[in-house]
Amino acid sequence: MICLFLLSLFLLPATASAHQETGTVWGFTSGFVHPLTGLDHIAAMVAVGLWGAFLGAPAMWVLPVVFPLVMAFGGALGVLGVPLPGVETGIALSSVILGIVVALGARPPLWVAALIVGTFAIFHGHAHGAEMPKAANAATYAIGFVIATGLLHLSGIAFGLLVRWSWGKKLVRLGGVAIAFIGFGFLFHFISA
Amino acid sequence: MNVKKIFFRRLLPVALLLALPATASAHTAIGGIGDFFGGVLHPLTTPTHLLVLVGLGLLAGQHSPSNLKIPLSVFIPVSAVALLFTTTGVVKNIYPPILIGIALVAGVLVALEKPLPTVATGTIFAFAALALGLDSAVETGTPISIAKTLLGTWLGLILAVADIAYYLSFFTKQKWQQVGIRVAGSWITAASFMILAFALRH
């Protein structure tokens, strides 16, 4: 039954998107793919999940709830054309900081963690909002990128659950180091450009 | 019968149903499926309507099956009245931020997981039914085809909310299930907020 359900998903949008890159289906595809096409976005999203899993409940679900809510605020600013300085730098910095806190296994109070994650979420949201293709359906674009962002968090949490084991804890911290390096790479790129 | 079995037996046809219009929408909104089924699928293929319906379904189903009675007993007649009112031609559609605002409110309430007084829940469902109904006007067609479409839309609205709420109410016992619902609520809130910004920009 589950296989049939999964197979049914293959019936989805192929024909519609073959004609022109506009409308409902393309809006969703475009929104869904947007967070997945930037390594800086992916690294930061996964780091949020990793850190949440590292901190345990309730942070494990509070952070992935806070992030999309604040990200939407940033996204609205982007859509409305409100300028936000240093968006790309902020996104790169988010990977650096979140990678470092995961690597160090930092355990600040929940409100501090939520504040850090929420602050960076504004930059990510602004980029998503400002870069929305003009032809895309706004509603499905927003739904697509929120779902993709949430799924990246979930993948981070899934990986982060390895902290139950001592070897897993090392692996997750190593993941944090990798994310921080990715962030540094983007940061140097933007500073030197 | 096993709840999981029931869930998948119902989920599969719904998934297939949702998969259908994507192919058809390459040419017309929903071509060749007839007025009635076009009406049934209308709320499911209109992104903002779907967002509102999922938000309402989560809101009604988040607590317990006993909490479904009031929301649905308000939603069913009010949506019928609103759909019938569209035949007068006075209202063609409603201001988009209203619908998105309702989805936003539903998403926030789901994310917060605060049980509401019955009156408040009933009011939200009444507003939602009114907005969804008024935004589903059929502009052209014979009286019979309009009647079929509106009947289909009414059933589509009810089935979407009732199915989500009813089946969800079986998955609220475990902590992770409650968390999952709240996360879904935050996603609806985020998407609604963004769409609201898009709508206001225009």
In tens, the pLDDT along B4-42 reads: 555 555 555 544 444 444 333 333 356 678 889 999 999
| Position A2 in a domain | no
And the tokens for A137?
Answer: 């359906």
B141 pLDDT tier (thresholds 50, 70, 90): confident
Q: Tell whether B47 is within 8 A of chain A (Cβ).
A: yes
B142 pLDDT tier (thresholds 50, 70, 90): confident
| Position B54 in a domain | yes
CA A96 – CA B25 distance, rounded (Å)? 43
3-state SS assignment for residue A110: helix
pLDDT tens-digit map of A79-90: 888 888 888 889
Domain count, chain A: 1
Contacts of B201 in chain A (CB under 8 A): 79-81
Across the interface, of B25, B47, B201, the residue whose CB is closest to A16 is: B25
| Position A17 in a domain | no
Domain count, chain B: 1
pTM of the model: 0.77
Domain range holding B194? 35-201
Least confident of A114-123, A134-143, B50-59, B96-105: A134-143
pLDDT tens-digit map of A5-55: 555 555 554 443 333 345 666 778 888 888 888 888 899 989 998 998 888
pLDDT tens-digit map of B92-136: 778 888 999 999 999 999 988 888 888 888 999 999 999 999 999
| Position B2 in a domain | no
Three-state SS string over B124-153 comes to HHHHHHHHHHHCCCCCCCCHHHHHHHHHHH
Residue of chain B whose Cα is closest to the Cα of A12: B19
Quick check: A139 and B23 CB within 8 A?
A: no
Quick check: B8 and A68 CB within 8 A?
A: no
Domain range holding A159? 23-192
Q: Tell whether A143 is within 8 A of chain B (Cβ).
A: yes
Determine the distance in angstroms separating the CA of A98 from the nearest CA of chain B, rounded to an integer.
Answer: 21
Please report the number of interchain residue pairs, chain A to chain B, with beta-carbon separation below 8 angstroms.
Answer: 116
Report CA-CA distances (Å) from A73 to A128, A149, B166. Answer: 11, 15, 32
Burial of A86 (0-12, 13-18, 19+ CB in 10 A): exposed
Mean pLDDT of B167-190: 87
